[in-house]
Amino acid sequence: MWEQINEMLRAAMLRMSDNVAGFIPGLAGLIVIVALAVIVAVLVRLVLARLLSGLRLDQRAENLGLGSAADWSVVGGPSVFIARVAMWTIIVAGVLVGLSALDAALPEAFARSIFGYVPNILAALLIVVVGTVLSRFFARSVLIGAVNLRLEPARPLSLGIKWLVILLAWTIALEHLGIGRGILAVSFAILLAGIVLASALAVGLGSTEWVRDAVAKRRGRTGDHPDDLPHV
């Protein structure tokens, strides 16, 4: 009986050592591929950053109305952002290719499914970044406009616009990723309708006097408002 047990253990050890021997080249391949991907990614990032900087992409983006340097400061500017996205795309692609080198069914299937999902992730990432940049752009414009119109709630208005745009961007991004599709859209619609209803109620019920005063001031102002002077 002991001989049978010994035989089984030996066979198990042999199988395991065979498996390990078969796995090590794949692992080595994974490490080499990932290392190469990291090197290529860093190089691509450096070259892209320099190339886009040379092409004055940041300034061109601003000219196209895609936000100023301050708006892009979260991600370090359009050229830095593109270079970073390119670097991480190559690294993630390298890891996934490396996983398939392991020659195992599960990692390969995982890699395939992730590869199929990458375009969605990239698109969602782009939507979130552009949404964030635009939210800051709109928030600043609304703030300055409201202050110049002497609207009391200038900052809340600006913050409201900012978060509305951010929320919209995240909703679209998550929709793109296929996460909670129907629920997200309905939630956003309910939230937006709620904001509009709450604002209407606040103005209609709670701030009647404030609105009346503001309208009366505009109609009956006599020389004490800056817009009553020609200035030129």
Q: Which residues in this chain contact another protein in the complex, by CB under 8 A?
A: 59, 62, 65, 67-70, 73, 137, 140-141, 143-150, 154-155, 158, 222-224, 226-227, 229-232
Question: Phi, psi at residue 86, to the nearest 5°?
Answer: -60, -40
Among residues 129 and 174, whose Cβ is nearest to another protein?
129
Residues counted in the chain: 232
Nearer to another protein, 34 or 143 (CB): 143
Distance in Å, CB of 47 to another protein, minimum:
25
Q: Which is nearer to another protein, 110 or 138 (CB)?
A: 138
Q: Torsion-angle region of residue 221: left (phi > 0), alpha (psi -120 to 50) or beta?
A: beta
- What's the closest the beta carbon of residue 219 comes to another protein, in angstroms? 16
Q: Mapping DSSP to helix (H, G, I), strand (E, B) and coil, where does residue 41 land?
A: helix
- The gap between the terminal CA atoms of the chain, to the nearest Å, is 109
Place of tokens 């030129």: 232
Residue 65 to residue 60: CA distance in whole angstroms: 9
For residue 176, give both structure tokens: 């793109």
Angle between helices 105-148 and 78-101 (to 10 degrees): 170
Name the minimum Å distance from CB 145 to another protein: 7
Q: Which is nearer to another protein, 148 or 187 (CB)?
A: 148
With beta carbons less than 8 A apart as the criterion, state whether 152 and 126 touch: no
Quote the tokens at residue 165.
């745009």
For the bound state, the minimum distance from the C-beta of residue 224 to another protein, rounded and expressed in Å, comes to: 4
With respect to another protein, which residue has the nearer C-beta, 125 or 157?
157
Smallest separation (angstroms) from another protein to the CB of 215? 17
Cβ nearer to another protein, comparing 45 with 136: 136
Question: What's the closest the beta carbon of residue 226 comes to another protein, in angstroms?
Answer: 5
Least Å distance between CB 112 and another protein?
Answer: 42
* Residue (117 or 163) nearer to another protein, CB: 163
Cα–Cα distances in angstroms (integers) from residue 43 to residues 29, 75, 94, 193, in the given order? 21, 19, 14, 48
Give the burial class of 119: count Cβ atoms within 10 A of its Cβ; 0-12 exposed, 13-18 middle, 19 or more buried: exposed
CA neighbor of 143 nearest in space, from 132, 131, 159, 130: 159
